[in-house]
Amino acid sequence: MILPGWILGGMKHAIRVRGLKKRYGEVQAVAGLDLDVAHGEVFAVLGPNGAGKSTTVEILEGYRERDEGEVTVLGRDPARPTREWRSRIGIVLQTADDRAELTVRETLRHFATCYANPRDPDELMEQVGLADSAGKRIRQLSGGQRRRVDVALGVIGRPELLFLDEPTTGFDPEARRQFWDLIAGLARDGTTIVLTTHYLEEAEALADRVAVVARGRVVAEGDPATLGGRGTAKARVAWSEGEIETDTPTAAVLELSRRYDGEIPGLTVTRPTLEDVYLRLIEAGEPLADGAPQTVGSAS
């Protein structure tokens, strides 16, 4: 749900980055990265280990200094954070302190005291699916339940912007799907979400837009369904005796149907998956020839 700028004080973007650079010794971790995230959208950042995505997100969160570039997050430079600005941001790290001996209820009530206008802890436990575990100590929870606690802590202060770092690592398929429902609900409420994940199906299920980061730059950006030309790529029509790539798969299937008098043996019709496009992009590791990332369906 991308919200119009006039609702949000005229700020067009929740996040705007231009020419971001960060070096660690001889290693150029971020090499002139540009990025825009609209208010109210779920934005996924994809990339292999070492691509620069974690460094970029840490700079956006205000926990790492940049070398060069312009960065604005909720209207402020994160290198000069204020307490008020931090209260508008929620962060769910890949690993977090277990707070093992506190119960879920005690944990949420304690953290609620840190904010001027927190969510009601009991209502929040219900929202994230922890009501039945309210009296359990954190150490007694499953991995999926602990992750729900992490998310509850990330949103208890009613953040406008939520950073999620690999939120479902280690989840079984059922727990992952339940977690996706939780994140989708937060997005429907208008929370802007920046998600880093290695699960491409997670990005496809949750994100309004994705950015692929390779060698410290955004090499493609857009709707998951159309990223990198995916939406207009040729379809692959395969059957037991051959295969073709075509822009008109329906016509090809009709022709095959006439050839085989109706039933086509072993017929499949596929287009490139997000994984296919992602692997091609990170292997190339370069933006388009004019130096700008490929942008399809950008937020206005």
Mean per-residue pLDDT pooled into runs of 10, the chain (300 residues): 43 90 94 95 93 93 95 96 92 72 94 91 89 92 85 90 87 82 88 92 93 93 86 86 90 91 90 87 59 35
Both 214 and 257 in a single domain? Answer: no
Q: Tell me, what's the pLDDT at 227?
A: 86
- Residue among 182, 239, 187 nearest 208 (CA): 187
In-domain check, residue 250? yes
Q: Give the model's pLDDT for residue 70.
A: 97
For the chain, the domain total comes to 2
Question: What is the predicted pLDDT for the residue at 99?
Answer: 67
Do residues 172 and 257 share a domain?
no
Judgement on whether residues 255 and 212 belong to the same structural domain of the protein: no
Indicate whether 179 and 279 sit together in one domain. Answer: yes
Cα dist from 54 to 48, 51, 197, 285, whole Å: 10, 8, 10, 17
Exposed, middle or buried, 238 (CB in 10 Å: 0-12/13-18/19+)? middle
Query: What is the C-alpha separation between 204 and 193, in angstroms, rounded?
Result: 14
Beta strand 217-222 with 209-214: parallel, antiparallel or unpaired? antiparallel
Please indicate, yes or no, if residue 211 is contained in any of the structural domains: yes
| Domain membership of residue 19 as a residue range | 5-88+159-232+274-296
Residue 77 belongs to a domain? yes
Q: 243 and 200: one domain?
A: no
User: Both 205 and 259 in a single domain?
Assistant: no
Which CATH number goes with the domain that contains 39? 3.40.50.300
- Residue at 143 is within a domain: no
Element (H, E) at 221: strand 217-222
Burial of 19 (0-12, 13-18, 19+ CB in 10 A): middle
Distance CA 146, CA 175 (A): 11
Q: Is residue 281 part of a domain?
A: yes
Same domain? 73 vs 169? yes
Q: Name the helix (H) or strand (E) containing 213.
A: strand 209-214
Residue 115: inside a domain: no
**118 occurs within a structural domain:** no
Angstrom distance (rounded) from CA 213 to CA 156: 30
Return the pLDDT at 288. Answer: 36
- In this prediction, residue 208 carries a pLDDT of 95
Q: Judge if 173 and 261 occupy the same domain.
A: no
Whether residues 75 and 15 share a domain: the answer is yes
Q: List the structure tokens of 244.
A: 């073709």
pLDDT recorded at residue 35: 95
Any bridge partners for residue 15, and if so which? 37, 73
Angle CA 151–157–161, to nearest 5: 70
Residues 182, 228: one domain? yes
- Structure tokens that stand for 179 in this block: 């977690």
Q: Are residue 168 and residue 218 in the same domain, yes or no?
A: yes
Identify whether 180 is part of a domain: yes
Say whether both 173 and 263 belong to one domain. no
